[in-house]
Amino acid sequence: MKLTIMSATNQIHEDLQPCLCIDDAVSTLFNEAIRLRKVFYNSRFISVGNSPAYLIYCLNYLNGINKDESNFLPSSSFVSCLTSDNQLLWKFAVLNDNNGSELSKVQIENFRALLKKKNLSPAAIIKQYKEKKRKTTFVDYCESGQGLMSPIIMIIEWAKEENTLEQVLQAINCIAYKSSYKRNFPTKKITLSYKGTKLKIPLNSYQNSAERIIREYFCMDKINNINVRLVPSYKPEDWKSEAPKMIDNDTVKYIKNKFDKLIMKEQNKYHSERLESYKEARNKGKDYKFNFFSTNTGFSKQQKIQAVDALISAFNGSTYQEFTKLTPVLRNGELGNLIRTELKRGNLDYLFQNSKKPRTIKELIILLSEKSPANNNNNSIAK
């Protein structure tokens, strides 16, 4: 079944011809983003090239930073894979363009400037890990691994000059959605061989439904359709000029909007159902000493139900006149602990795109009261 898209022009429909159904792609990548956030908790995910770009966009949205372009590296493969048939050893050589010569000093400086601008210099990666325990995780769709390893080798060479290589290696991860055509693709920590140096690189490779979606929908080599590209190409021969900006044509906007609506709808539903089930479970409980509805905390059962209902309404874009008066109730006991845990993990950041993120219940209530969360996209998103 092919998707028919209503648009002022037929261009979007033509752009998405390679896709069986864009809704399937969006839903699959959303579920994969949820999984990655759990498996690689507190990671900063970087899209290496265009293939995983919409997956990273989804992760950005979940983190409340859907306009942040620093987590996208332009497509720029400048290393050659010499061996890829060994699951434990990857051997690479540096190339410039197609003539086999090494990168020039000017090219290296320009690409490092791009990395620095995106906070991907060795110093920035190390600082993030030291201060926030946040690893930088590079993501790509791989056949030979050349695209994924290109920026990593650049960062490794830079770190060697600054004598921070070991610190950088502790602070990075790699995720490879391996091509279903590659049987001997590495599946775990590998040895990267480069210029006579052998380094252990953490690698997590997957061949799942997300790999299929990335390969069939957004891998530029497969679909050969520039109009669905989110991340521009930036080949070494172009490094004399500034890297091009992210692509934002009508097709890209359409796909992003699909992600925005699905994420807002599914996340609001998840949190609403969790609060409802929490309320019902505590309502049926017999032990009231540490129960959600315990009156020892100074709040009645009716007040607590009212507070939960108000929070659920706020998630779904509705307003509540006396919401701020319920702050003490929401901060109390088991319910308060539940909300604090979600805030600490950043699981409610999607409600506040590109703005201040609440980290306390008081901040959450104030921000929800000031602006209906659904208005960050449109009021229909959560409905």
Domain boundary, last residue among 199, 223, 248:
248
Tens of pLDDT along 21-80?
A: 678 888 889 999 999 999 999 999 999 998 899 999 999 999 999 888 999 999 888 777
267 and 244 fall within a common domain: no
- DSSP β-bridge partners for residue 320: none
**What span, in angstroms and rounded, lies between the C-alpha atoms of 223 and 15?**
10
**What span, in angstroms and rounded, lies between the C-alpha atoms of 225 and 218?**
9
309 and 239 fall within a common domain: no
CB 259 within 8 A of CB 26: yes
Whether residue 3 is contained in a domain is answered as no
Whether residue 382 is contained in a domain is answered as no
80 and 124 fall within a common domain: yes
**Reduced 3-state DSSP string for 169-225:** HHCEEEEEEECCCCCCCCCCCEEEEECCEEEEECEEEECCHHHHHHHHHHCHHHHCC
Length of the chain, in residues:
383
- DSSP β-bridge partners for residue 89: 191
52 and 147 fall within a common domain: yes
Whether residue 5 is contained in a domain is answered as no
pLDDT at 26: 87
87 and 158 fall within a common domain: yes
Beta-sheet pairing, 190-194 with 197-201: antiparallel
Whether residue 4 is contained in a domain is answered as no
Give me the domain span that covers residue 342: 263-376
Whether residue 298 is contained in a domain is answered as yes
pLDDT at 98: 47
Give the containing element (helix H, strand E) for 303: helix 301-315
Whether residue 137 is contained in a domain is answered as yes
Task: Tally the domains of the chain.
Answer: 2
**What span, in angstroms and rounded, lies between the C-alpha atoms of 344 and 368?**
17
pLDDT at 220: 53
List the one residue out of 162, 155, 147 whose CA is nearest residue 219.
147
Domain boundary, last residue among 216, 248, 280:
248
189 and 221 fall within a common domain: yes
CB 185 within 8 A of CB 176: yes
**What span, in angstroms and rounded, lies between the C-alpha atoms of 136 and 168?**
9
Domain boundary, last residue among 203, 218, 248:
248
198 and 280 fall within a common domain: no
Residues whose CB falls within 8 Å of the CB of residue 295, separated by 6 or more in sequence, listed in order: 288, 301
- DSSP β-bridge partners for residue 90: 192
pLDDT at 197: 72
On the CB side of 43, CA atoms within 13 Å amount to: 24
193 and 316 fall within a common domain: no
Whether residue 383 is contained in a domain is answered as no
Parts of the chain with a pLDDT under 70: 1-21, 82-101, 180-189, 196, 219-226, 278, 280-297, 319-322, 371-383
177 and 273 fall within a common domain: no
pLDDT at 169: 93
Whether residue 256 is contained in a domain is answered as no
228 and 294 fall within a common domain: no
Backbone Cα Rg of the chain: 24
351 and 225 fall within a common domain: no
pLDDT at 307: 85
318 and 200 fall within a common domain: no
For residue 139, what are its two tokens? 């993501």
Q: Residue 352 carries which side chain, given as an amino acid letter? A: F
For residue 107, what are its two tokens? 């090219």
